[in-house]
């Protein structure tokens, strides 16, 4: 599917603009000719001096907006959806940590506006999803599958949205037979075949590492992805924003963007 964005200047609202990802995007979009940040929203609006106005709430936004790029917190979902529905703006939601109910809320709203959501904006992870799905189909009979993710010490949610996305890709390949096990503390029993373990490490400034382990008798296969900087997520978000400009209502993800 092609982007319908051509020859204009796309007006972007950065939601969570004063966070780590918000600031990386601020810099990257300032270097792009046909895209401009018309305003930002952040619950800490004064943390940085930005070249665009920053509001503490979406209710205060005065600017005309084509696309909202969101890297904030899942608790903002209601206000984000209300904003998109009132202003008919496309939403590029990159935040993680949503509950099943919140994901359903997104789907419901996507009947009226175009909504993109992906827990990982890198091309590499979205290719890895296809690889682990195929590997799981071929290996599951003889190999146990576990996922380890590592992130910086400021991350709020665990396991990461990406680890869950990889687990879902694997499970889809296996007719959703697997049961997710979040760590094994206090467990004094053997691993069951249909378990898929998810394990989270938090420390320092690790940008984002995901390791999918296929452990067999006498041999181990690992498929890994390491994000070396946050730029990779920001470029993915810019690519998704271009893709979402002028799209029909519906739910979209990175697989649609990369088609």
Ligand X SMILES: O=C(O)C1=N[C@H](C(=O)O)C[C@H](O)C1
Ligand Y SMILES: NC(=O)C1=CN([C@@H]2O[C@H](COP(=O)(O)OP(=O)(O)OC[C@H]3O[C@@H](n4cnc5c(N)ncnc54)[C@H](O)[C@@H]3O)[C@@H](O)[C@H]2O)C=CC1
The stretch among 3-11, 17-25, 137-145, 215-223 that binds ligand Y (CB under 6 A) is: 17-25
From the list 15, 117, 150, 151, the catalytic residue is 151
Residue 197 sits in the site that holds ligand X (CB under 6 A): no
SS (H, E, C) the chain: CCCCCCCCCEEEEEECCCCHHHHHHHHHHHCCCCEEEEEEECCCCCCCCCCCCEECCHHHCCCCCCEEEECCCHHHHHHHHHHHHHHCCEEEECCCCCCHHHHHHHHHHCCCCEEEECCCCCHHHHHHHHHHHHHHHHHCCCCEEEEEEEECCCCCCCCCHHHHHHHHHHHHHCCCCCEEEECCCCCCCCCCCCEEEEEEEECCCCCCEEEEEEECCCCEEEEEEECCCCHHHHHHHHHHHHHHCCCCCEEECHHHHHC
> Would residue 155 show up in a list of annotated catalytic residues for this protein?
yes
According to CB under 6 A, which one of 115, 208, 211, 232 is a site residue for ligand X? 208
Q: How far is the CB of 70 from ligand Y (least distance, A)?
A: 8
Residue 118 sits in the site that holds ligand X (CB under 6 A): no
Residue 119 sits in the site that holds ligand X (CB under 6 A): yes
Please check if 15 is assigned to a binding site. Answer: no
Please check if 208 is assigned to a binding site. Answer: no
Residue 16 sits in the site that holds ligand X (CB under 6 A): no
Taking the least distance from each CB to ligand Y, the nearer of 9 and 226 is: 226
Residue 238 sits in the site that holds ligand Y (CB under 6 A): no
From the list 15, 117, 150, 155, the catalytic residue is 155
Are the beta carbons of 200 and 160 closer than 8 angstroms?
yes
> Would residue 247 show up in a list of annotated catalytic residues for this protein?
no
Residue 65 sits in the site that holds ligand X (CB under 6 A): no
Per the annotation, where are the binding residues for (S)-2,3,4,5-tetrahydrodipicolinate? 152, 161-162
Q: Which residues bind ligand Y (CB under 6 A)?
A: 16, 18-22, 41-44, 71-73, 75-76, 94-97, 118-121, 157, 161, 233
Q: Which residues are identified as catalytic? A: 151, 155
Q: Which residues bind ligand X (CB under 6 A)?
A: 96, 119-120, 151, 155, 160-162, 208
């Amino acid at each position: 599917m092609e982007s319908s964005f051509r020859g204009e200047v796309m007006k972007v609202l950065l939601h969570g603009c004063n966070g780590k990802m918000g600031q990386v995007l601020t810099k990257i979009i300032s270097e792009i000719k046909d895209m401009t940040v018309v305003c930002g929203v952040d619950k800490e609006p004064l943390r940085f001096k930005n070249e665009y106005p920053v509001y503490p709430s979406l209710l205060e936004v005065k600017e005309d907006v084509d696309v909202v790029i969101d890297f904030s917190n899942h608790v903002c979902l209601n206000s984000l959806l209300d904003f998109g529905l009132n202003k008919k703006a496309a939403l590029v939601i990159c935040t993680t940590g949503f509950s099943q109910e919140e994901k359903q809320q997104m789907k419901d709203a996507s009947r009226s506006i175009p909504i993109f959501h992906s827990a990982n904006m890198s091309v590499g992870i979205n290719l890895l999803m296809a690889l682990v799905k195929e590997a799981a189909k071929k290996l599951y009979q003889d190999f146990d599958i576990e996922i380890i993710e590592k992130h910086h010490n400021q991350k709020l949610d665990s396991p990461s949205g990406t680890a869950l996305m990889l687990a879902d890709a694997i499970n889809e390949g296996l007719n959703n037979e697997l049961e997710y096990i979040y760590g094994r503390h206090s467990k004094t029993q053997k691993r069951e075949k249909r378990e898929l373990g998810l394990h989270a490490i938090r420390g320092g400034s690790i940008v984002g590492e995901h390791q999918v382990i296929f452990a067999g008798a006498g041999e181990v296969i690992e498929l890994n992805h390491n994000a070396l900087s946050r730029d990779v997520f920001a470029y993915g978000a810019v690519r998704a924003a271009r893709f979402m400009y002028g799209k029909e209502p519906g739910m979209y993800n990175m697989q649609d963007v990369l088609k």
